[in-house]
Structure 1
Amino acid sequence: MSIKLKTAKAIKDKDDLIVLLSDGEPDGDLLTNEAERHYFQRKLKSKKELIAINQYQRWVFLVAPITEDSPEYTVEAYRKQGASLYKRLKQEEVKKVKISGGQASQVLALAEGLLLAAYTFSSYRKELKEVVASGLKEVSIVHPEISSRDVQELGNIVAGTCLARDLINEPVISLNANQLSKAFKKAGKESGFKVEVFDKPRIKSLKMGGLLGVNAGSEDPPTFNILEYKSDNPVNAQPYVIVGKGVTYDTGGLSLKPSTSMDTMKSDMGGSAAVIGTMVAVAKNKLPIHLIGLVPATDNRPGGNAIVPGDVITISDGTTVEVLNTDAEGRLILADALAFAKKYKPALVIDLATLTGAAAVAIGKEGMVMMGSASEEYKNQLRQAGEETYERLVEFPLWKEYRSYLKSDIADLKNIGGRMAGAITAGMFLKHFTDYEWMHLDIAGVAFLDSPDGYRGKNGTGAGVRLLYHFFKKLAQ
């Protein structure tokens, strides 16, 4: 994150300022003359949510009170207002700004939206690098109920989300499986967690047939990544495990995608990006938990000895799988990771994957599809974290009848269940490899956007990082 976020104790006369109003009236002498007061009242009566006043030596942006149908909607509205404010700050070439007024939760939400809206992937465009270099540099929060620890926590969550976005947006030509593993190691060293990387010979020794099968058509070897953060006194005796699909590019393999569906497939590692972003936020904020991240990583290509429809592969737990569609590859590499997770005797496993178009069609970009065998307590806690972060979850059922959709004539399972209930049969496939409390999050609709959407922006969103951080924070309390 290129913008410095901090607290401040006071506001000076020349400070550019954002003020959240509590009752529709600014405090004290903020408005310096009758003309400004008249202008403010006129804009407020016309239902303007953001009122900008140019006081020549500074800008004052007044945010009118926002009240929605629920606390979660209200907080989200402040995040969106933060995104709108960033555009205005950029337009007015503001370098430093202070935020004050309002409730603590509203101020932090507005700052979060502003910082996330400021994200730019500028690695390959000179003019974007210049925009970032000349843009907003510092955001200071002046509020009696917001501590430097609160601000640091928010900054670390945003940093984890932005790292996830960077990795999603990076083209596969510079981010194959090995390079993704190097990014994990770098983040671990900077944030305070361990990273172990299994190379192809080690993966072969573990008989990870799903990962090796998907990788068979690629010239680049796969990796299997183990990320581990453990605080000095974790609240959980058994680790929590998060698993991310790390398909760095998905052509569909020999079940080749149409070209119009392939140009965004660098984002098919969005689940792994969510894992690394969460690990960064958790480690930097020193949550008192034991957390393990597992990422099987490869691209899915149609070259070399690529698996073909009709092949049978063997997952590391001995399950045989008839591969009827090589574009249903994510579940194959996740199967090895979920089987590997058993060795930790985990308290809970959550996997994240851009797994099915069916999930995206079902609920669009407004949320994630959730399913799994975890307790209702875990499910409710995860749903609540989704509401609080506005990374919302919709649960799909895993009724036993769906198991028959995956019946194969020649193997233990087949990797697709047909046209009906596509997201659910993918989840049912994954369930086979679990014997612990487990949740599956299909993030296909939210991980990568083809048009801007407020603070989520365009392209990689980092979906899942904020959700999981808040979920684990609640478990740690």
Structure 2
Amino acid sequence: MKVSVTTIPLDELDIDLLLVPVAEGAVEATLKALSEQFGEIVRRTAADFTGAQDELIWLYPESGRARRLALVGMGPADRVDLERLRRVAARGAELARERKVVTAAIVRPQTSIDPESASQALVEGFMLAAYRFTRYKTDTSELREIERLVIHETGEDEKASRRGAERGRIIAESVMTARDLVNLSPDEKTPTKFARLIEQSAKKYGYEADVWDKALIEEEGMGGLLAVNRGSPEPPTFTVLTWHPENALNERPVVLVGKGVVFDTGGLSLKPTKDSMDYMKSDMAGAAAVVGAMEALARLKIPLYVVGLIPATDNRPGENAYVPGEVIRMHSGKTVEVLNTDAEGRLILADALSYARTYRPILVIDLATLTGAQVIALGTEAAAVMTNNVEGAEERLQAIVTAGERSGDRVHPLPMYDEYAKLLESDVADLKNIGGREAGSITAAKFLEHFVDYPWIHIDMAGPAFLKEPKPYRPKGGTGFGVRLLVEFLRDFASPRRFSS
């Protein structure tokens, strides 16, 4: 989709659909301005329009070049935030799709939000709502793609709006990359094929990708990844992604780790099919988010040295599959008693987190569809976030929560009390891979904490990563959750003030 910003008079805008967001209290002024440009039909048709949230009025103007107008209510002006703008724009994309229009424009509403951020939010909301995954559809004749989106801006704010719109386009496209990866059929994203897709992305967007094969993984001693992979006919991969611009503010990297279980049967602790295994092509959504984020960082030229680590395998009950009761020696040297082979994600993440130590990172963030307990606790509206209790813990949590609120990829903190670690004590090994029914998301994080010795943020995104029913600008299937969160967090993290000392 092409995205642009214009300041030409509204009635000269040659467009199939013009979306006009209106807050309560701004209705009279908006209708007056629109009537002057599109005719008195605006006042007559919208006489009862109040600007209430989600209120909609369709107009077919008497004059001007726009074929259709849609007034969409935003609710009280003091409650209009970035997420409200995204959802209004998403409504516009839905309307455009229903009418099968090719070109659309949005009038940026005058709010307390700065023009750059507002335009970014509008573009993100519209593009993400317009997304469709049609790779496996054989008849797409009835589908009509929206080819162009225009943000209408006042002259004085044009430059800021252009910056925001361009950033919104890049971020939305990066989210779509993650969505496409999650939605791919499992046979098209075996660990090796997934790694090749990452290499293609790196070549296209200018970051580096180095793929390790099974021999290198064995040489490195990644016992967790190798154990999970034993039941599969497909070998594992470990992919290292690097974005290291010349103007990077940091010498030691920020490391992103994404869980890459490309399909999860549960192994010998077999999952049921309905509403469980049938969605497990999404178990690499954490890895997909890292790929999308690396694309965005490179395209936006964020001045940070960032490394991505993606351990990839499927988890199958093959003839040599790892078994409950087995003890695994991990990359760190610690031993783990396996009591459930369906708690495999933490095993491959633990090896990646252990390997991350070699970079002496200033911060590590892992993302994973890790536990069903996260879905029970927070549903699909927010991911769980946890951090280790080392210097800067409160600041880290606040920063990632704020990034979630601003980006729309919301996260909510869970506690990491020492007492939870007792649930992982093993009689035969250093620890066991499950902690029982209680506090499942927290005990999974406490397991991972055994393998870190640096500032660390853990994001359990099992709920929001893959939806069974659509939500505003988040479709059924892969949502690309985590990309916007990481980009927003790292854009703020790249402040020169942080590294001036």
TM-score by length of 2: 0.90
CA distance 1:297–1:49, shift in 2 (3 Å): same
The match for 1:402 is: 420
Give 1:118 shift: 0.8
Q: Give 1:49's aligned amino acid.
A: E
Is 1:130 the counterpart of 2:141 in the alignment? yes
CA deviation vs aligned residue, 1:427-469 (integer Å, no higher than 9, x gap): 0000000000001000001100001111011110000000110
Q: Counterpart amino acid of 2:266?
A: G
> What aligned pairs does 1:245-394 form with structure 2 within 5 A after superposition?
245-260=259-274, 261-373=276-388, 375-394=393-412
Contact residue 218 and residue 302 of structure 1 kept, 8 A: yes
Aligned partner of 1:142 in structure 2 is 152
Q: Distance in 1 between matches of 2:290 and 2:403?
A: 16
- Which stretch shows the higher mean deviation, 297-306 or 34-43? 34-43
Check conservation: 2:123, 2:165, Cα contact below 8 A.
no
Q: Is the 8 A contact 1:350 1:438 kept in 2?
A: yes
TM superposition shift of 1:8: 2.6
Q: Report what 2:440 is aligned to.
A: 422
In the alignment, what sits opposite 1:220? 234
Cα 1:406–1:43 change in 2 (3 A) is same
Q: 1:29 Cα shift? A: 4.8
5+ residue gaps, structure 2, are 496-501
Q: Is the 8 A contact 2:4 2:150 kept in 1?
A: yes
Q: Could you say which residue in structure 2 is the equivalent of 1:116?
A: 128
1:86-105 alpha-carbon deviations (Å, 9 max, x no partner): 12112222211222241424
Single out whichever of 387-396 and 353-362 deviates more from structure 2.
387-396
Q: Work out the percentage of aligned pairs sharing the same amino acid.
A: 43
For structure 1, which segment, 154-163 or 86-95, has the greater mean C-alpha deviation from structure 2 after superposition? 86-95
Give 1:107 deviation, angstroms: 4.1
1:91 corresponds in structure 2 to 98
One of 34, 42, 47 as aligned partner of 2:40: 34
Q: Secondary structure at the match of 1:462?
A: coil
Please give the alpha-carbon distance, in whole angstroms, between the structure 2 residues aligned to 1:456 and 1:400. Answer: 36
Measure, in 1, the Cα distance between the counterparts of 2:165 and 2:225. Answer: 40
Aligned-residue CA RMSD (Å): 1.8
Give SS of 2:38's match: coil
Counterpart in 1 of 2:216? 202
Give the 3-state SS of the residue equivalent to 2:210 in structure 1. strand
- Name which of structure 1's ranges 98-107 and 271-280 shifts more when overlaid on structure 2: 98-107
Change (3 A) 1:30 1:469: farther
SS at 2:386's partner residue? strand
1:228, 1:158 → 2: CA distance? 21
Give, in whole Å, the separation in 1 of the partners of 2:475 and 2:162: 27
Is the alpha carbon distance of 1:19 and 1:45 closer, same or farther for their aligned partners in structure 2, counting shifts above 3 Å? closer
Q: Note if contact 2:365-2:458 (Cα within 8 Å) is conserved in structure 1.
A: yes
**Residues 45, 340 of structure 1: CA spacing in aligned structure 2 closer, same or farther, 3 A cutoff?**
closer
Map of 1:470 onto structure 2: 488
Is 2:241 the counterpart of 1:243?
A: no
SS in 2 for 1:43: coil
Query: Per-residue deviation at 1:174?
Result: 1.0
**Which residue does the alignment assign to 1:439?**
457
Asked if the contact 2:383/2:412 (under 8 Å) is kept, the reply is yes
The DSSP-based 3-state class of the residue aligned with 2:46 is helix
Partner of residue 54, structure 1: 60
Summarize the alignment of residues 143-222 of structure 1 with structure 2, pairs less than 5 Å apart: 143=153, 144=155, 145=157, 146-222=160-236
The amino acid that maps onto 2:407 is: T
Q: In 1, are the aligned partners of 2:52 and 2:75 still within 8 Å (CA)?
A: no
1:222-262 CA deviation, whole Å, 9 max, x = no partner?
00010000122112222101100000000000000011111
Q: Go from structure 1 to structure 2 and tell me whether the alpha carbon gap of 1:13 and 1:214 turns closer, same or farther (over 3 Å shift).
A: closer
Q: Larger deviation: 367-376 or 201-210?
A: 367-376
Task: Please tell me the residue identity of whatever aligns with 2:15.
Answer: D
Counterpart among 91, 100, 104 of residue 107 in structure 2: 100
Output the amino acid matched with 1:15.
I
Contact 2:119 2:164 in 1 (8 A): no
Q: Tell me, which stretches of 5 or more residues in structure 1 are unaligned?
A: none
Contact 2:336/2:429, CA 8 A, preserved across alignment: yes
Q: Which residue of 1 aligns with 2:2?
A: 4
**Residues 355 and 15 of structure 1, relative CA distance in 2, 3 Å threshold:** same
Give secondary structure in 1 for the equivalent of 2:311: strand
Note if contact 1:242-1:292 (Cα within 8 Å) is conserved in structure 2.
yes
Residue 362 of structure 2 aligns with an amino acid whose one-letter code is A
CA separation of 1:161 and 1:131: change in aligned 2, threshold 3 A: farther
**Of 278-287 and 137-146, the range deviating more from structure 2:** 137-146
> 1:366 aligns to what SS in structure 2?
coil
Structure 1 runs, 4 residues or longer, greater than 4 Å off? 28-31, 45-48, 68-71
SS of the aligned residue for 1:148 comes to helix
* Map of 2:88 onto structure 1: 81
Distance in 2, matches of 1:286 and 1:390, equals: 22
Confirm or deny: 8 A CA contact 1:66 1:78 kept in the other structure: no
Aligned residues: 471
Match of 2:498 in 1: none
Q: How many angstroms does 1:61 deviate by?
A: 2.0
Task: Give me the whole-angstrom Cα distance separating, in 2, the residues matched to 1:141 and 1:69.
Answer: 22
Q: Deviations over 1:155-193 (max 9, x none)?
A: 110011000000001111111101110111111111110
Equivalent position SS for 2:187: helix
TM-score, scaled to structure 1: 0.95
Counterparts of 2:106 and 2:263 in 1: how far apart (Å)? 41
1:47 offset after TM fit, Å?
7.2
Q: Partner of 1:365: helix, strand, or coil?
A: coil
The 1:33/1:247 distance shift into structure 2, 3 A limit, reads same
Give 3-state SS (helix, strand or coil) of 1:66's partner.
strand
- Higher alpha-carbon deviation: 112-121 or 434-443: 112-121
